[in-house]
Amino acid sequence: ELVELLENTSINIDVKYKGWECILGLTATDEGQNNLTNKKFITFLLSTLNKNEKNDPTTNLAYKCLINLSSNKEGALKLMSYKDDLISDLLSKMNDPTHSHIEPMCYIVNNLSSHVSFLSDDEPRSFPIDKLKDVLKYFLSSEASIREKYRFLALVFANVTKHVVGRKLFMENNSYLADLFIVPSNASESVIRRLGVSLTVRNCCFETDCHSKLLDELTLLPNILLPLMGPEEYKEEEMEKLPIDCQYLEESKGREEHPKIRRTLVQALCLLCYTEHGWNYLKENGVYYVTRELHNWEKDESVIEAIETLLLYLLVENYTAPDAKGKESILNTELVRPSETDVVKDLPDFII
């Protein structure tokens, strides 16, 4: 009945708004979601979003409804079953940075890519990876206001690169990778951006065939090390081994404050030890010294555990490929999604 009421174009805007508020309240409950994840309502909801009327306050409510419906696996699967090109459509709209609903669209794509298996070997689906690459330029825009609107794409990158196919497609012919991988080392970036890109970096390090590209071509190592470094002084011979960008840091230099990001970056270093080239590269560039100082400073148990694993890899004199079980345990580390407890300062007001 509500849908029929809202489809009536002649109704007063205030009545229409109240109707959407009622629907939004329903989407915030399990029972309401079960009742609303049907083809009729979802078709109506998506048609409302396609209008994108900037001055229509109900459009914003419709996006909030879609965020709620896509927030769990069952809802995400239902949405994709009724419109399998939903992510593709959203990414196409996001290719216009003037669109008035970029933030919620990014969040919806994050939800969908979290819950629906697009690129896994067990349940392959097509993912519009080229369209994702197209909007990467806005995520890296020199304009802070544009970068901020696209920040939740960082978690989409992490979701996509959790799968082998996703990693390979994401890294293939991606001219923005070098700029993307700088994000974790920039303390002025938002937590969401640093976290999502750190997870993406770690995931890309699973591809042992790409270690040379990551280290030699993309010079990834300083971007991993800098967030893990503080103002400590090193012996001259130790300092000279560090990458140039990691030498003689200011006394005010602080470490990444978020422990999950620190752990993720240490895990990336562990993964680089899974090839002899990566292991030698880390040894030759003083990663042990940085890890030693981080170990002395670190208080978080989960990060300490990852650090001690890395130290075990670095302290051996002759290269031996680490146990594959360790690699699997890193892969099975839960991808961090936005939560009120973890990154509350970064959650925008459109999250219900």
Q: What percent of the chain has pLDDT over 70?
A: 88
- pLDDT higher than threshold 90 for residue 290: yes
Task: Give which of 152, 60, 157 is closest to 100, Cα–Cα.
Answer: 60
The pLDDT assigned to 345 comes to 42
Output the CA–CA distances (angstroms, integers) from residue 298 to 58, 109, 255, 256, 303, in the order listed: 48, 34, 10, 11, 7
Q: Once rounded to an integer, what is the mean pLDDT over residues 71-86?
A: 92
Query: Tens digits of per-residue pLDDT, 114-156?
Result: 987 776 655 556 789 999 999 999 999 999 999 999 999 999 9
25-39, 189-203, 222-236, 250-264: least confident range:
25-39
Residues 11, 24 within the same domain:
yes
Task: Compute the average pLDDT of residues 199-209.
Answer: 95
Instruction: Pick the last residue of a domain from 36, 67, 82.
Output: 82
Domain identity same for 192 and 334: yes
Looking at the 3D structure of the chain, how many domains does it have? Answer: 3
Q: Are residues 324 and 219 in the same domain?
A: yes
Tell whether 233 and 130 lie within a shared domain.
no
Cα torsion for 291, 177, 129, 73, to the nearest 10°?
30
Residue-level pLDDT at 264: 96
Q: Do both 236 and 179 map to the same domain?
A: yes
Q: What mean pLDDT value characterizes the chain?
A: 88
| Same domain, residue pair 207 and 319 | yes
CATH code of residue 15: 1.25.10.10
Res. 50 pLDDT band, cuts 50 70 90: confident
151 and 101 assigned to the same domain: yes
Task: Say if residue 182 is in the same domain as residue 141.
Answer: no
Between the alpha carbon of residue 161 and those of residues 198, 205, 291, the distances in Å are: 11, 10, 26
Same domain, residue pair 70 and 90: no
**Among 50, 82, 114, where does a domain finish?**
82
Q: Domain range spanning residue 114?
A: 84-164
CATH number for 343? 1.25.10
Round to whole Å and give the CA distance between 173 and 161. 15
Domain end: 146, 164, 182, which one?
Answer: 164
Residue 218 shares a structural domain with residue 116: no
Same structural domain, 295 and 312? yes
Same-domain status, 5 and 103: no
